[in-house]
Amino acid sequence: MTSLVTWFTTTLGAYISRELVIFIISMIPILELRGGLLAASLLQVPITTAIPLCVIGNIIPIPFILLFIRQIFKWMKRFRIFRPLIEKLENRAMNKSGNVAKGEFWGLALFVGIPLPGTGAWTGSLIAALLEIDIKKAVIAELVGIVIATLIMSIVSYGLLGAVIH
């Protein structure tokens, strides 16, 4: 992830502000809030500026995914060229959905909140949509997850743990 974040910060950073780079990275699947906070740290953006940008950037895609992804996937599967990709995405999401399905609210919150590869708001939203979790419950669980991820990644990205210990 660090190499992707570095590439985005150097490539986009040549054309747009550091804050906009962070915001955009936070909206991108795979990178999301984690990548945004790493980029903010690399770009030496103050944490008080970075957190709101990353959180808002990470939140924006959630309702669109929850509301429209099943219809978009259904439409795309009609085309032979897209069907294997969509089925692969659905299968990957459903393979990761075990704990989310069991614990629903807390399962989804922790799935989004624990910064591991393949987790985050994008995949969490996809899983919630495919499992047909109530949209209000899914949004609230994902917001809780984003708070958890923000706390963890702030410590990792800005070294706050070291500052607290010393």
| 156, part of any domain | no
The answer to whether residues 95 and 112 belong to one domain is yes
Contact 90, 73 (CB under 8 A): yes
d(CA 102, CA 138): 14
Among 130, 159, 141, 154, residue whose Cα is nearest residue 54: 154
| 12, part of any domain | yes
pTM of the model: 0.84
Contact 96, 118 (CB under 8 A): yes
Among 42, 40, 64, 66, residue whose Cα is nearest residue 51: 40
Residues of the domain holding 124: 61-151
The answer to whether residues 48 and 73 belong to one domain is no
Across the chain, what does the average pLDDT equal? 89
The answer to whether residues 117 and 134 belong to one domain is yes
d(CA 4, CA 88): 23
The answer to whether residues 71 and 125 belong to one domain is yes
- 2-25 as b/e: b if 16+ CB within 10 A: eeebeebbeebbeeeebeebbbbb
The answer to whether residues 79 and 65 belong to one domain is yes
The pLDDT tens digits of the residues spanning 100-154 come to 777 889 999 999 999 888 889 998 999 999 888 999 999 999 999 999 999 999 8
The answer to whether residues 79 and 98 belong to one domain is yes
Residue 71, pLDDT above cutoff 90: yes
**Cα-flanking dihedrals φ and ψ of residue 15, to 5°?**
-120, -25
Residue-level pLDDT at 160:
59
Contact 112, 120 (CB under 8 A): yes
d(CA 37, CA 41): 6
What number is the average pLDDT over the span 12-25? Answer: 92
